[in-house]
Every structure is written in structure tokens, then in C-alpha cells.
Amino acid sequence: MARKGNRKVRTGCITCKTPPVGERKRTVPCSSLYCQVQPSDKIDRARKVKCDEGKPSCVRCIKTGRVCDGYLLKIDVRDPVGSRDATTLTLHRPHHVFPGTKSSSEGHALQFFCETAGPLMSGTADPYFWTNIVLQFSAFEPAVRHAVISISDLFQQSYYTPESNAKIRFDDQTIALKHYNNAIHGLKDIKSEHKESVVLLVCVLFVCIEFIRGDREAALRHCTHGVEILKTSPQHAWTQQHLLPIFRRLNEFAFFFSDENSEFSDISDLAGPIPTTFSTFSEAQEMLDGIFNHTTRIMRSSRKSHSLPKTASGMFEPQKRISVFSQYFTDKSTISRLLNTWLKLFSEFDPKMTELDALAAKHCKYGADYGLKMYRCFLLTRYECCRIWLNIAFDDPKSGYERSVDNFDRVLKQLSWLESQIPHEGPFSDPVSPPFVFETGFGANLFFLVTTCCDLEMRLELIRLMSIFALPRENLWGKDVLTAAARKIIEVEHGTKFEDLVQSPTVPSYSEETPTEDEDEDAEAEEEETDFGTPEIWAEQRESQSGTGTGDEEGAHKSGKVLRRDNLALFGSYLLILNPFMSGKIGS
């Protein structure tokens, strides 16, 4: 007759329930038959020692002279209500926090991208693509994961480099290039239903890798291939929402960094209808990016139609009088109407964001509201760039600049206002700027304004603001290169050393003037704090667009010697200076 057994309890202390090291395994019954286990086998099963479960140490261990190792607490996930009162806890350490990683170094790279590189990568754009979409795809697409690891490794090296613009040594790129190659080979194994969308996403990551490495030609090749795939692949809603805006901005990069005779596909036909309202900054930026691309295309076409000979020193000879095709005027009128529409929609959208500014300042710490102000001022600066380019594109230099004086003045006022809003603590006040961002930010836009402006005082103020808002690297735009090129242009066109110009006491301070709300706002709105208001959204804008309102101040903004101000100077003379800086042929 079988002996009646007792219910086994496994809740004793670790010392009582764990066998000593080296204890031989006994004969263990196995369902229907008895299996004899070899004497050399060891076991890790509970000892038949009754534990009194005393706390913090059981009495049995104390009496026998053993050291009580305490108890394991286990939380029953099936009973969340009583989980706090459970008596045991099982600790689980996953082998891989990030799925698909094969080593701790890969996991560390993904963690660095998740916590540091990804949130900083977008710059003045919406970070959702880098912080969410890229990481989600890296969990199940090896090509994306390898590309992210490569980006993270390169970014991390530059992030901890004492000199923000120092080039990474080739020896330090071994890991990055290894994963870069693995990502390229991984493109062949993509089995997703929408393979084209995944390939386009990886293409963006490849462009980012080449941006960080500073390889202009490779980045341009990836841009060209990506645009071709985008135009020929099915237009999925996901691609239209997340990838098309990025490639539209990459088209802008290709315009400025490609060779003179290079041709790039126009993706303006892929854009959707003009929105009737803006609900986010991303929607406002998407429409403005399309207008910006259209404007730069006109400027490029105009530049290519004028072939200016160069002197022996490499400088352009004086411009000859040329005729402008009627199609350019038609395009100019179209862009002007689009800019009017954008400004109207943004003016309706901005009060909503002003309320968010106030809420962020009230409920969030560390200057969280500054991010919204920065995005707003960036879009308005970009808008003014388009306006100024249209004014100078097909007019003579004098009238084109005179019609743009108000545009320059508004840019200076809004950026000086933004400077006064920089918080003293938090992520935006960190003196260590991110060494690299994928998107074009304030640096390039302010450089464009410096090269098109004729007024010396405004130019000097724009360079000062560039030193504040420009980041060390915005894709391939280098802050030190842009600053050195802008100074050189000013020296050439004003015929004196930049240091002598800076010491001039006539430079005004735009930061003393705080922008106000629109003049047609209520009197009650004027009593509110201006910290949360937008730099004036231009009550005089329409008058400025019509070409009036500057006659009284003619000559007031002519404080220096100007050689030539037209579209050829904008897209010709500064490239002559910029390209040698890029190749390291001349110093700063």
C-alpha cells in the first residue's frame, strides 16, 4: 500500500531549499518506470529540510550555524491585486532588450540612439520619424537595425569629440562601416509586403550616414535613387505621410550641393492638395517646404540660363543685361499666391499654438514652451527667405532689395525676440549643442539672408544671430564654414576687413525691441504678457508684397559698398567661396 505523502512546500529560505554544491542526484521516479540517473549527475532541486521561514533569517539556519541567504519573492502576474502581498519574486533578466541584437555593443548603440541621437536628429523638424518609426522598424527589419547602429556609432563618436566639427578618424568607423555594409546586404532580404516603403526608409538612413561621414557624393547618389524609387513606387498613405516630406527636403539639399549641370527629379506632382487649415507645425512645414523647393528650382533655372564667364582669378565678370522668360514670371506669381495662402493659414493656426505656449510654460519645466517658439520662428524665417528670393530673382538689384527691407527687418526682430526667450535651464539651454542634425536649420537660412542683404548693419546682426541659433552641423551645412564664408563675402563686397566692420559703433540692437501682437487684436490682448505671443505676424505684409512702403527710406539702408546683388550673386559668388571651404583648400 502506497504511503500517504505530505504536501511539499517550496517557500522556505534559499539555504534550506537549495542543495549543497556537489550533492549526488538520487533515483527519481519517472511516470511509469524508474530511470536510474548516473551517480556523477548533479541536481538542483529542493532539499527536504523543513524551514520555519523566520524573518529576516530562519531559526533552523541560525541553530545549525548556517548563513541564511534570505528568501525569493515571487509576484503572481495573474493576480495583480495581491501581487504586492506575494511572498516570492522571480527576477528575469532578458538576454536582449532590443530584439535582433547579437551583442551588448549593438544593444548599447540602439539604446544610445533611442535616448540621445534619435531625439536630437530632427533639429527643427518633428522628431516622430526618428524617435518612433525608425525604432519600430529596427525591431523586425535587420537592414534598418544595422543602419541605426551605424548612425548611432558615428553620432556617439562625434558627440563625445571635444571639437564639435572635428572629422571622425577612419579607424573609428570600423563598426559603423561594418553595419553599413550589413544594412546594404540586408536590403536583398526584405520580405515586407510593402518593400518599397522599407527601402525608402533605409535610403533615408543611408543618407544620414553619409551626412555624418561628410561624403557629399554618396549622399547625393542615395538622394537621387530614393527620389526615383519614390516616383515609381505605389503611393501608400504611410509613405506620403512620413517619407515624402523628408525626400522633399532632401531635394533642397541636392539643389545646393549638386554640380551645376546636375538634374534632379521634381516631386512636386506627388504633393497633395493645398490644405484648408493647419493643425500641427508639421503640416505648416510640409506646405512651406514645397514652396521653398519651387522657389529654389526657379532660381536654379534662372542661374543656368545665365552663363557668366569667369576671370583668371575665378571670380564672375560683371553681369550683362539679359531677358527673362515669361514662364519665370508665371512661376513667380504662382509662388507668391502660395505664400499668401500659407501666411493666411499660419496666422489662423498661430493663436492655437500661443495657447499651448502658455500651457507649456505653466505646467512644464525647463522651458518646454521654447520648442514651440523655435519652430514658429524657424518657419517664419523660411517664409521670409522665399519672399526675399522672389523679390530679387528677376528685378534689378536696387529695386529688389528695396522691396525686401521690411522682410529683413521682420526676420531680425523675430529672431531677437526668440533670443530673449531662450531658457536658462533645460535641454534648450545646454551649452553643448548636438554635433549633428539631419535637417537644415537656422544656419543655412541665415546664411542665405546674409548673402542677399545689402545693408551692412543688418548683415552683421544676422551673423551674430547665426552664431546663436546655427548648430555645428546641419546635414552638410557646417556652422564654421557658413560663418567664414559670410564674413569673406562681406569683406569682398564692402572692401574692408570684417574685424574693422564689427568694431563700428553704428550697429543697432534689434533685441531691445520686443515684438507686439497684430494691430487689429483686441485691447485686452495687448494687456497680456508678450512672452507667449508671436513676433508680429506682419500687419504691413501685404503692403510690402505690393512693392510699396519703402520709398521714404530709400538710401537709409545703403551703408556700404555693394558689388552686385542678384540671383547670380546669391547662387554663384558664395558657392565660389563655400566649395573651397568644403574641400579644406582655404582656412577660416
- Across the range 504-531, mean pLDDT stands at 43
Residue 178 vs residue 584, higher pLDDT: 178
Query: What one-character DSSP code corresponds to residue 352?
Result: H
- 272's CB contacts (< 8 A; 6+ apart) are 240
Q: Which residues of 104-132 are buried (b: 16+ CB within 10 A; e: fewer)?
A: eebbbbbebbbeebbebbbbbbbeebbbe
Query: What one-character DSSP code corresponds to residue 227?
Result: H
Torsions phi, psi of 106, nearest 5?
-65, -40
**Highest mean pLDDT pick, 272-276, 286-290, 292-296, 368-372:** 286-290
What cell does 25 get? Answer: 542526484
Give the pLDDT band of residue 416 (cuts 50, 70, 90). Answer: very high
Alpha helix (H) residue ranges in 160-242: 174-186, 195-213, 216-232, 237-242
**Highest mean pLDDT pick, 158-172, 239-253, 413-427:** 239-253
Name the residue among 195, 287, 187 with its Cα closest to residue 232.
195
pLDDT of residue 553: 39
Structural domain boundaries in the chain: 8-92, 100-259, 275-304+326-515+527-588
Contact 442, 466 (CB under 8 A): yes
The burial class, CB within 10 Å (0-12 / 13-18 / 19+), for 515 is: middle
Give the pLDDT band of residue 545 (cuts 50, 70, 90). Answer: very low
Q: What is the largest CA-CA distance in the chain?
A: 118
Q: Angle of helix 142-159 relative to helix 174-186, nearest 10 degrees? A: 160
- Across the range 295-313, mean pLDDT stands at 64
Strands 477-478 and 473-474: antiparallel
- 385's CB contacts (< 8 A; 6+ apart) are 292, 445, 448, 449
**Highest mean pLDDT pick, 46-55, 164-173, 181-190, 266-275:** 181-190
556 pLDDT more than 70: no
pLDDT of residue 246: 94
The span from the CA of 492 to the CA of 116, in Å, is 41
Give the pLDDT band of residue 112 (cuts 50, 70, 90). Answer: very high
Give the pLDDT band of residue 313 (cuts 50, 70, 90). Answer: low
Query: What one-character DSSP code corresponds to residue 426?
Result: S
In tens, the pLDDT along 448-480 reads 999 888 888 899 999 999 999 999 999 999 999
Range name among 138-142, 280-284, 512-516 with the lowest pLDDT average: 512-516
The span from the CA of 429 to the CA of 439, in Å, is 20
The span from the CA of 78 to the CA of 81, in Å, is 9
515 pLDDT more than 80: no
> How many of the other CB atoms lie within 10 Å of CB of 478?
22
pLDDT of residue 393: 72
The span from the CA of 584 to the CA of 222, in Å, is 24
pLDDT of residue 572: 43
The span from the CA of 62 to the CA of 346, in Å, is 76
Residue 29, SS3? strand
Residue 214, Ramachandran bin (φ over 0: left; ψ between -120 and 50: alpha; else beta): left
pLDDT of residue 453: 87
Q: Which residues of 30-43 are buried (b: 16+ CB within 10 A; e: fewer)?
A: eeeeeeeeeeeeee
- Across the range 372-381, mean pLDDT stands at 91
Q: Mean pLDDT of all residues in the chain?
A: 72
Query: What one-character DSSP code corresponds to residue 535?
Result: S
Residue 174, SS3? helix
Helix (H) or strand (E) holding 478: strand 477-478
Estimate to the nearest angstrom the gap between the alpha carbon of 559 and the chain centroid: 37
Give the pLDDT band of residue 582 (cuts 50, 70, 90). Answer: very low
pLDDT of residue 319: 52
pLDDT of residue 486: 92
Range name among 16-25, 114-123, 152-161, 525-534 with the lowest pLDDT average: 525-534
Residue 319, Ramachandran bin (φ over 0: left; ψ between -120 and 50: alpha; else beta): beta
Range name among 103-107, 438-442, 490-494, 574-578 with the lowest pLDDT average: 574-578
pLDDT of residue 46: 52
Please give the single-letter amino acid code of residue 115: E
In DSSP notation, 495-526 reads: TS-HHHHHT-TT---STTS-----TTS-HHHH
In tens, the pLDDT along 31-55 reads 433 344 344 444 344 566 788 888 7
Name the residue among 499, 480, 408, 403 with its Cα closest to residue 451.
408
Name the residue among 476, 481, 492, 477 with its Cα closest to residue 560.
492
